[in-house]
Structure 1
Amino acid sequence: MLKLSAVAVLPAALAGCNDNGNGEDEPANGNDENGNDENGNGEPIEPGEIELDGETEAWTGVAPDEIADEENPTLTLEEGESYEITWENIDGVDHNIEIRDDDDEVVDGYETDLMGDEGETQTLEIDEVTDEMTQYVCEPHEGTMVGDVEVA
């Protein structure tokens, strides 16, 4: 009887392991309850333009719809394709954008100069996505303005 009780309690105890702090469970694999990734559909973003807002607290997705309103959204990109990442300076503080690898090094010179004028925009053109690309980062605010790049 005691063994049966312990077995019954273990799944109940483990069920709360993915609690997000407000009583709701989150899937352990990083996907939502429908199996979608952070882009909302499990599919790469179509080649073309990606739009972000940049402020010290975080990057915020603007377009395409898969990343809209997300803080530091994961950018799932197609290997070998080209993209333009255009961002707007929202808070008038110096920011830039860099594409980095697992060693925290800039990949193939994909970085921009610092830009500090509120409302100004900047575009980083990626000619060819490679599997080296793992993050996009604002160098002065790499603790808060950092998002993952997944290559599909």
Structure 2
Amino acid sequence: MTTFDHDRRSVLKLSGATIATALAAGCLGDDENERSDDTETGGGSDGPYEIEPGERITFRGEVGGWIGLEPVAIEDVTNPTLVLEADGDYEIGWTEGDNTPHNFLLWDENEDVVEDYETEQVAEPDDDQILEITATDEMAYYRCEPHQNMQGEIQVE
């Protein structure tokens, strides 16, 4: 066996051990890491999220998506699917952000604003970014108009 063959075998053994270690580490992740992975893509396996009438629904606005703040069921979930009760009253909007101008609006299936539920674009949210709404069947999405990644689904039941 030449020195080259011996060195190549050593590299292959080391590579195999490294890959095996990485695979084992990925398979042994804890529940917290699994939830984090789910929330990066929006939702996760435990959504959609039923929200009771009267609850306040707030988000952190980031160009990558709406990050749930409250209620606790949507905390840290990106663009969660919200299940609202028909004719239920809610407060919904954003209270934190990434210093980029955002607005919050509700769309129907045709991407038209529902019942003037829309805020102005601002970089720093305040009380004007919270909408008081009554859930209707025409509501299909919540959205930031200039950022297509900032959109979540609404289901009204």
TM surpasses 0.5: yes
Greater strand share, structure number? 2
AA partner of residue 92 (structure 1):
N
Quick one: distance in 2 between partners of 1:58 and 1:109?
22
Greater helix share, structure number? 2
1:57 aligns with 2:64: yes
Specify which of 119, 136, 149 is matched with residue 130 of structure 1.
136
AA partner of residue 91 (structure 1):
D
SS for the counterpart of 1:145 is strand
Q: 1:113 to 1:66 in 2, by over 3 A?
A: same
Structure 1 portions without partners, runs of 5+: 1-21, 24-29
Question: Which 4+ runs in 1 deviate beyond 3 A?
Answer: none
Q: In the alignment, which residue of structure 2 is the partner of 1:37?
A: 47
Larger radius of gyration: 2
Percent of counterpart pairs with the same letter? 42
CA deviation after TM superposition for structure 1 residue 125, in Å: 1.1
SS for the counterpart of 2:153 is strand
AA partner of residue 120 (structure 2):
D
Q: 1:57 to 1:31 in 2, by over 3 A?
A: closer
Query: How many positions carry a matched residue from both structures?
Result: 117
CA deviation after TM superposition for structure 1 residue 134, in Å: 0.3
Quick one: distance in 2 between partners of 1:31 and 1:70?
8
Q: In the alignment, which residue of structure 1 is the partner of 2:31?
A: none
Q: Would you say the 8 A contact 1:89–1:95 is kept in 2?
A: no
Specify which of 139, 144, 149 is matched with residue 144 of structure 1.
149
What's the TM-score, normalizing by structure 1? 0.69
Q: 1:71 to 1:88 in 2, by over 3 A?
A: same
Quick one: distance in 2 between partners of 1:85 and 1:31?
21
Quick one: distance in 2 between partners of 1:56 and 1:46?
28
1:98 aligns with 2:105: yes
Question: Deviations 1:98-129 (Å, cap 9, x if unpaired)?
Answer: 10000000001010111112x64521110x21
Q: In the alignment, which residue of structure 1 is the partner of 2:118?
A: 111
